[in-house]
Every structure is written in C-alpha cells, then in structure tokens.
C-alpha cells in the first residue's frame, strides 16, 4: 500500500481516523483529571510523552502534506481531505494545549524544547518531500509501513546522534 492509497483508504473509511484523532485529546484530558498536579512524575510523564508523539507526528505530517499539495502540485484547497489533512492538525493543537495545562513540556522526558522536537520531525518530512520531488528516491511507491519505519529510524539517528556529537 502506497502513501496515496493509504490516505485514500483512510478518507473513504473515516472511522479509524476519527477514533484515533479524537481519542488522543480525550486521553490527554483524562490524564489531566487523573494526574492533577502530578504530570511531571514517573508514570504520567511517560504517558504524556506517548500522547505527544501520537499527536505531533501525524499533525506535522498533515501540515507538510498540505504545503506540498499547495506549492508543488497546485492543488485546490477545495480538494482537501478533511479527515487526513485538517483533523490531525486540530488534534495535535488540542492535545498539546491540554497537556500544557497540566505539565510543562520541559518536565516531560525528551521534550526539553518542544520546538526542537517539532523542527526535527518537520525537517525529516521536508527532506522526504524534497527527495521525492527531485526523484532521487521515490517514496510514493514505497509501502507505508516502510516509510514510517524509515522515518522513525532517521528520527532516532538524528535525536541520539546529535546528542553524542555535541558532547
């Protein structure tokens, strides 16, 4: 399944996308109720860390995909797939807002600076788009699970590689 097929499938079968992008902010809201004032402590900071990853990666991907469609493919804004291009961004914003109400991002492991994390994810996805557009590497025909695996490996390599390189 290619990325285009995956987005088309999710647009035609919106139940999973709706569930996924609504459950993340709901989970953050439940975390706020259950961990009132304890968001920086051990089980809750890991919980919030997972929620941030689940919300931010699709949200940044949706933003970059929208920019790619507007600038490179000259696609009309009326042709946007609301489930796959707008809902992830709204879910990301709402999740980050709810988490920020209970705990500061610097208290969550791995998120000392949220902008650095968002910049790393956006930079990786932008690199993928540039490589795809320049036809150096064709990602659109790559199965979606391999694309996600490559993204995760590159993210971990950049995240831990820069940490050890600048010590």
State pLDDT tens for residues 94-113.
Answer: 999 998 888 887 777 766 66
Say if residue 137's pLDDT is above 70: no
CA distance 16 to 10: 7
What are the φ and ψ backbone dihedral angles of 79, each rounded to 5 degrees? -95, 10
Q: How far from 128 is each of 2, 41, 133, 160, CA to CA, in Å?
A: 14, 36, 9, 20
Say if residue 92's pLDDT is above 90: yes
- DSSP characters for 7-47? HHHHHHSHHHHHHHHHHHHHHHHHHHHHTTT-TTSHHHHHH
- Tell how far CA 29 is from the center of its chain: 19
Enter the pTM of the model.
0.69
Say if residue 26's pLDDT is above 90: yes
Q: What are 32-58's pLDDT values in tens digits?
A: 888 777 766 778 888 888 898 899 888
Position 140 scores a pLDDT of 59
Range of the domain at 78: 3-165
- Give which of 56, 45, 46, 47 is closest to 21, Cα–Cα: 56
For the chain, the domain total comes to: 1
Position 93 scores a pLDDT of 94
């Amino acid at each position: 399944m290619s990325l285009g097929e995956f987005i088309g499938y999710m647009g035609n079968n919106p139940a999973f996308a709706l569930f996924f992008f609504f459950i993340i902010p709901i989970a953050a809201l439940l975390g706020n109720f259950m961990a009132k004032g304890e968001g920086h402590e051990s089980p809750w900071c890991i919980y919030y860390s997972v929620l941030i990853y689940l919300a931010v990666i699709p949200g940044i991907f949706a933003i970059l995909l929208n920019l790619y469609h507007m600038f490179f493919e000259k696609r009309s804004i009326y042709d946007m797939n609301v489930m796959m291009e707008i809902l992830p961004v709204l879910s990301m914003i709402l999740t980050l807002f709810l988490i920020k109400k209970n705990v500061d991002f610097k208290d969550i492991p791995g998120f000392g600076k949220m902008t650095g994390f968002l910049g790393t994810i956006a930079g990786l996805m932008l690199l993928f788009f540039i490589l795809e557009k320049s036809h150096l590497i064709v990602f659109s025909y790559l199965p979606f699970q391999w694309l996600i695996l490559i993204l995760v490996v590159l993210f971990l390599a950049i995240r831990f590689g820069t940490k050890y390189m600048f010590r």
